[in-house]
Amino acid sequence: MKRKEVFSAKELTGVAVLLALVIVLQAFGGTISIGAVQLNFTLIPIVLGAIVFGAWIGAFLGFACGVVVLVQVIMGAVPFYTLIWTNDPIVTVFTCIVKTTAAGFVAGLVYQLLAKKNERAALLLASGLVPVVNTTLFIIGCLCMTNSVHGMAGGQNVLVFILVGLVTFNFFIEFAINLLVAPALQRVIQVVAKGNRK
């Protein structure tokens, strides 16, 4: 009796392409800096992988993104992360790795649960959840490092500084980008599904 392959060659190729996109975007240009704001386009292939290949692949792609971010942090590429790395390396590692891993997993899980009832709603919700989970876990990570963040807050409330100074603009831009790209993702999903049926 022939064992069923876990992934077909087409699926492995698709995951490899998405993994390469995650690594290249995060390492070499998926983040555009506008002043203190960092716009991250790396979440898009994570969403796509989670939707097309499932929650565990979404988590894997998110984990890969987190590892690249951690390497950038250790190398001093992002000033804020350099500060928190110096003061709280364990929480920084946890924050870098867990936030995108969880975001990819949750997106895939939500899509799988809702797609049979309403694929478009499942797609929009999964696309929107990635920046929500990513940002929420980033905020929690920062709150666990209040001593490190307090110095940057300049005397203002740490939570207000995190929400207004570090998160708000980035979150809304990432959220909007993911929702705008969702219809294109739906088209890609349809093409992939059609190709797999042949």
Q: Check which CATH number belongs to the domain holding 80 and give it.
A: 1.10.1760.20
Number of domains making up the chain: 1
Q: Distance between alpha carbon 17 and the CA centroid of its chain, in Å?
A: 16
pTM, two decimals, is 0.83
Q: How far is CA 72 from CA 48, 66, 96, in A?
A: 24, 10, 10
Average pLDDT over residues 48-76: 92
Answer whether residue 195 is part of any domain. no
Within-domain flag for 4: no
How far apart (Å, rounded) are the C-alpha atoms in residues 25 and 41? Answer: 7
pLDDT higher than threshold 70 for residue 14: yes
Does residue 88 sit in helix, strand or coil?
Answer: coil
Residue 186 within a domain: yes
Among the residue ranges 36-45, 97-106, 132-141, 147-156, the one predicted with the least confidence is 147-156
Mean pLDDT of the chain: 80
Res. 57: pLDDT tops 90: yes
Distance CA 196, CA 49 (A): 15
Range of the domain at 79: 9-190
Q: Specify if 3 maps to a domain.
A: no
26 touches 77 (CB < 8 A)? no
DSSP-H helix ranges across the chain: 9-28, 43-53, 55-75, 79-87, 89-114, 119-143, 146-153, 158-160, 168-197
Per-residue pLDDT for 3 more than 60?
Answer: no
φ, ψ dihedrals at 33, nearest 5°: -95, 130
Structure-token pair, residue 4: 């069923």
